[in-house]
Structure 1
Amino acid sequence: MPMVIGVAAGLVLAAIIVLVGLFKLMWRVAEPNEALVISGSKHRTEGLGEGMGFRIVTGRGTLVLPGVQAVRKLSLDLNETELSVDCVTQQGIPLRVRGVVIFKVGDDFVSIANAARRFLDQQKMMSDRVHNVFAGHLRSIVGGLTVEDMIRDREKLTGQTRAACGTEMEKLGLIVDSLQIHEIEDPTGYIKNLAMPHAAAVQRDARIAQAEANLRATEAEQAAFARMSEATRDSEILQAGYQAERDKAAASSRQAGPLADAAARQEVVVQETRVAELEAHRREQQLQADVRKPADAQAYEKRTLAEAERDARISAAQAKAKETELAAAAEATRVKAAAAAEAQATEARGLAAAKATRATGEAEAAATQARGLAQAESAKAQGLAEAEAIKARAAALAENQEAVVAQQLAENWPQIVEAGASAFGNVEHMVLLNGAEGMSEMFAKALTMGGTGLGLARQLLASMNQNGDAPNGQSPAAPSPRSKPIPITEEVNGVRN
């Protein structure tokens, strides 16, 4: 029994080993830089026609049936090919163009399928095929350009070449990562000849620059020589000046004796002059101290007192003005308050007066009405009485006219005297002669002036009767306005009293 178990375990282990070996034999994994092309069965690949007879795997693993399917690898690495193409330009000038093309198989399934069909067993020939494609197109493009265009714009040549080769490279399943034109060789020396005018111009500019530099250097040297000459001249002039000063000093030393005597005499004169000036200055100072200083002191004292008095007056005036201003402000405040109070009081008094006036008016109206009724009754009674009196007076006058006139004269004698005295109303000063007799004569003449006394009385009575006055003096006429007193001077025997 243990032998059977051991055999079974060995069989199981052998089976596992066989299965692992078969799996490793059947499992294929594509590297990142390669593609697996599996043929032997029909597969439908995206972008490819049906029934291509192979399957493409990139970046992952897959099972492959040994003996049924074949697996081959296609490299996706970069490839490089050197370009060295003999070309002829539009001008007929032969050139050799050197460059490099860097390319690889495309990463999409279409490019891989195209490259697999063309280069799966010939990957080493891929560079030669690409060189031939680029060489043909490069010759065609260079034939339409001039040398100047190629030199000045190599990017244009590169772009046209890549664009022309793009379609064919796509059919081959390849893509161009880079195309560089390194060098353009000129066997005939055309490019060198093109550069000669520019080189000559550069040489000319260099010679001109050198000549200008030499000119500036020469001018600088001449200026330096001129400055050296000026310095030499200035040095000689200074030396001559110093020599003249030395000669002058020698001559002065020879004349020192006479000059010293003259200087001594001059010094004596100067000292005497200074003594005189000092004496005059002393007298002036003495005069200043004796006369001017006291006068200035007195003037200063008077001026100081005047200024002090003026300042005192100004201060007093300012204080008075300030006091007046404060008093005016206080008065204005008081008047304003009093006016406000008076306005309120006036308003109150007006209201009270209005009420009082209204009450008084109502009372006066009632009183006036009562007085009117009473006056009407009184006038009525008075009229009746006057009518009776006039009737009685007429009867009495018819019987005894003289008695009635005498009675009326007696009753109205004051008015008669006043009317007679009115003649003297405009007399300011009167001189009386003969004393008392003159006074009596004057009053007699005044009473008889304008007619006899009886005529005057009658006129007065007629006037009073026309005005409706009663003979008994119930309603006497208003007295005439009295004249101002007349100053009377009594003169007896020519003497005034």
Structure 2
Amino acid sequence: MGALVLLLTTLGLGGGSAWLVIRNLYYICQPSEVLIFAGTPTRLLKGKTVGYRLVKGGSSLQMPLLEKTFRMDLTNMIIDLKVVGAYSKGGIPLTVTGVANIKISGTEPTLHNAIERLLGKSRKQIEKLAKETLEGNLRGVLASLTPEEANSDQIAFARSLLEEAEEDLQKLGLMLDSLQIQSISDDVNYLDSLGRKQQADLIRDARIAEARAQAESIIQASANERETALRELARDEEIAKVEATKGVRDALTKRTALVTEVESIASAQIAEVEAEIKVEKERISETEQRLQADIIAPAEAHRQRSIAEAKGEAAKIIEDGKAKVLGLERLGEVWRSAGKDAREVFLYQKIEVLTQMMAMSIPTIPITGVTVIDAEQGTQATKIAAFLEQLNHSTGIDLKQMLMQNPLLNSNSQGTKTLESVAKAND
């Protein structure tokens, strides 16, 4: 400002000239805009130098001949979005409509991007550029979502679109204030079918909820009935307890009389049993005396007699043994005195006794027949006689009798004679 006053004074301009200069070179910046004074080099905070200076929410004078002033509107721009035939994940083409509110960013460093890219463009050109950018981002977001995801949660869909478009808009110097997805549709009726399915699911869930409510109502009614039944049972139990207590009291009252009666009966039975015990003891004593007289005393006498007899038999056996020993000793003396012939003499004396013993050991054998065979006929006649006997014993056929009665065999030769002799011998 001081340099400007100095310049006006130097030029010798009057008050009217100063007013004209201030009117044409003094700019006031509205809150919804930013002033760019191009031509003056300015160093930014990061050390970058730009050929303009910015005024936002204030006023400033343009350096005559050195600067040129531009205004940039920061108010909102409403953009209608519509994407037709954008393929979603799964290959379903969708049509999406929405509304976006964007504006030129008034904060650095995004504002410098807007100055570099949008300064000098009309508002319609900026809106067109922002619309094309947003529609491109919208197609990119749809490609990563299924129709169900895009249609079921449009808020999340819009949030994804904001995140996708934020970087591209910042490069242009724009800022997306809000984004509303108005409608999502398709030409193949996929979403309609999905809607019908969702409606059917809602109806199913409603029916399930209704059935559950009815079931819970039935369960609650059953619980109420159960509670009522339990209360009735508790009441009956209390009544039963009272009656049982009364019965116990009655029983306790009657118990003394019953105990006295039972004790008297038991005392009588005990006395009777004790009397029977005494009688049985007398009976046992009498039985023992009778057994002593009838069985034990005779048995003892028999035992003593048997012992005496056994002693007598033993004495006899002992005396016989002594006599035998004495006899054997004398026999030995005689045997030694006889010398070598003692053995033969002893055997001669015992032959008669041994012969009798051998004859007694042979059993009596019954003889049913005797066969006499001529010595001249030899072994053949013996075999024939044995065969005839065996045949008679085994089959009952008396071949010998049959041969004797057959007249044809009576005229045979030597063999016939042999049979006749054998038969006669058997007779």
TM-score, normalised to structure 1, is: 0.37
* TM-score calculated relative to the size of structure 2: 0.42
Larger Rg: 1
